[in-house]
Amino acid sequence: MNHMINIKINNKEHSVEEGQTILEVCRNLDIEIPHFCYHPGLSIAGNCRMCLVEVKGMPKLMTACSTVMQDGMEVLTDSDLVKEARKGVLEFILLDHPVDCPICDKSGECNLQDYNFDYGISERRSIFPKERHKVEKVSEKIYKNDNRCVLCTRCIRFLDEVTETHEFTTVERGSHTHITCVDPEGLDKNPFASNISDLCPVGALGLNEFRFRKRVWLTDHVRAVCQGCEAGCNLTVDLHTRHTALDPNTGPVVRFTSADNYSMQRFFICDEGRYSYKNYNGTENRLLHPELDGNDVGVQDAKAFIKEALDSKSAGVIVLSPLVSIEENYAAVLLAEEMGYDLYRPSPFRKDLPTPALFIEKVKAPNYKMMKLMEIPKVTDMESTDYDVVLVLNSIGSIRDNSLVKILSLLKRAKYSITFEVERTEFSENSRLALPAPMFLEEDGCYINAGKRIQHSNGGLGYPEAVRPLWEWIYPRRFKSPEDLLRQFSKEKLGVELNYEKIGEEGVEL
């Protein structure tokens, strides 16, 4: 157990763990200290001076990001002296800053914008004209606007310390210092390069494809789990749910950005996961209504077919999916246990890791660890395909070709073949009944990542048209919400009692 120390912040006593900086302690206590250069995933630079605080006994203000708390230390974060210092720092930062918030893509999520409202000055005192630079497209992914840069160096430190690819550096000196890209080609090849857009606290760095596309305050934000691989990275998903689209062709999912997870010490996402939001905007092959023998049918007709299949008491098999949430899979597991059906899983698609790989996983399935923990056998190990009832779960993603062939063989032979999936694939085309499944942003669901951490992903879009979760198709009255399934699964299969509140934003390690 870490040693605890007693400190005072704003004349209130607290007991905290030894070894933390003032900024870290205040963050954990929900005490705001403004900052630009500090980031929990990067080294401490201490160059923006925005986080200055008053420490009793010290002759001058101290940077909260680099000052370690000591036993008995007394700190003031909101004194008149501190506020005056912040005002002075902001005045220097804004000497050449254009303050063009109405046309800046960062507007609405910009630290400088917020701090200027809270601590800034109302009038400009400098008589010199502001220095101006052209907006530069530094790579296919990133644009750079030096006019807005506050020289926090987060981008440089990320490329130096995290990816170790060194595409950015500073040039010139004094007031002419600015950041430049020395390797545009390397930036495009860097599988994590777009994180510098999230890291930038102002509008100096941004994504070319998001530029002038959407105001962030016109989107709804939900926290979700990336579906790209079994790493379980956390996302902030911007959803277009309002009738204020600038582009009528804009899909419901506007963008993915990284969400901090302090428990996993993970603050960044790969570009493949970031740009995968496009996979959830296509509707061309989307299943929105049940299809029986190739024709659209109503919900009641689909449920009647399911009842007929279950009442037949025939031999059955259910193929779970590592692409689908715990709740959807567990509904199928319960059905298999009650009906005496066999359970199998496909082998997920694997991909060679890029350089650098960092936390990217080879297995391209968010819930593969659930299959492993439950010891579900592979469908390719199945000896017989002689089943009259076959239920296959599937979602947006890929499985290996040998698993694909085996599952198609099952579906083609069965009298009652049912597929539960988001988009039409070979599975639904070769099934008698295709049930429209929700994608992960349309329902709450949990996933177990490669590190055995169970995490909760929020659904913000809701179910479109006749789309339903699996438990509503097969257990319409037993469960009231997906959380009921999660509670039962965690108790019976994991030996712990969990719900969405206990899992929280950062998950629980199993």
251-308 confidence digits (pLDDT tens): 789 999 999 999 999 999 999 999 999 999 877 789 999 999 999 999 999 999 999 9
* pLDDT tens digits for range 476-506: 788 999 999 999 999 999 999 999 999 999 9
- Model pLDDT, residue 245: 53
Residue 374: name the closest of 470, 452, 458, 478 by CA: 452
Contacts of 93-101 with C-beta under 8 Å, sequence gap 24+, read: 93/48, 93/150, 94/120, 94/124, 95/126, 95/128, 95/130, 95/175, 96/130, 96/131, 96/147, 96/175, 97/130, 97/147, 97/148, 97/150, 97/202, 98/130, 98/147, 98/148, 100/148
- Model pLDDT, residue 70: 94
- Model pLDDT, residue 263: 95
DSSP-based three-state secondary structure for 171: strand
Residue 115: name the closest of 160, 164, 52, 170 by CA: 52
**Boundary (domain end) residue, out of 46, 77, 93:** 93
Q: What is the CATH number of the domain that holds 160?
A: 3.30.70.20
* 485 within domain boundaries: yes
Residue 371: name the closest of 324, 411, 317, 439 by CA: 324
**Amino acid letter, 74:** E
Based on the domain organization, do 341 and 478 belong to the same domain?
yes
Based on the domain organization, do 60 and 133 belong to the same domain?
no
- Model pLDDT, residue 110: 95
Based on the domain organization, do 296 and 220 belong to the same domain?
no
Based on the domain organization, do 253 and 314 belong to the same domain?
no
**Boundary (domain end) residue, out of 280, 303, 318:** 280
* 123 within domain boundaries: no
- Model pLDDT, residue 281: 87
- Model pLDDT, residue 249: 63
Helices 482-489 and 326-339 pack at an angle, to 10 degrees, of: 70
**Amino acid letter, 14:** H
pLDDT < 70 regions, the chain:
1, 242-250
- Model pLDDT, residue 196: 97
* 258 within domain boundaries: yes
Based on the domain organization, do 193 and 297 belong to the same domain?
no
* 104 within domain boundaries: no
Full residue range of the structural domain in which residue 65 is found:
4-93
- Model pLDDT, residue 213: 85
- Model pLDDT, residue 217: 86
- Model pLDDT, residue 114: 93
Q: What is the CATH number of the domain that holds 318?
A: 3.40.50.740
* 100 within domain boundaries: no
Based on the domain organization, do 218 and 188 belong to the same domain?
yes
Based on the domain organization, do 246 and 372 belong to the same domain?
no
Strand duo 389-393 + 416-421: pairing: parallel
Measured between alpha carbons, how far is 201 from 97 in angstroms, rounded to an integer? Answer: 13
DSSP-based three-state secondary structure for 418: strand
**Amino acid letter, 365:** A
In total, how many domains does the chain have?
Answer: 3
Based on the domain organization, do 327 and 259 belong to the same domain?
no
Token pair listed for 163: 């990816």
* 43 within domain boundaries: yes
**Boundary (domain end) residue, out of 280, 302, 335:** 280
Angle made by CA atoms 324, 330, 336, in degrees to the nearest 5 = 115
DSSP-based three-state secondary structure for 365: coil
**Alpha helix (H) ranges present in 340-390?**
368-373
* pLDDT tens digits for range 362-384: 999 999 999 999 999 999 999 88
* 384 within domain boundaries: yes
* 115 within domain boundaries: no
Based on the domain organization, do 233 and 257 belong to the same domain?
yes
- Model pLDDT, residue 1: 55
Based on the domain organization, do 272 and 397 belong to the same domain?
no
Q: What is the mean pLDDT of the chain?
A: 93
Based on the domain organization, do 397 and 477 belong to the same domain?
yes
Q: What is the CATH number of the domain that holds 25?
A: 3.10.20.740
DSSP letter assigned to residue 168: E
Based on the domain organization, do 388 and 500 belong to the same domain?
yes
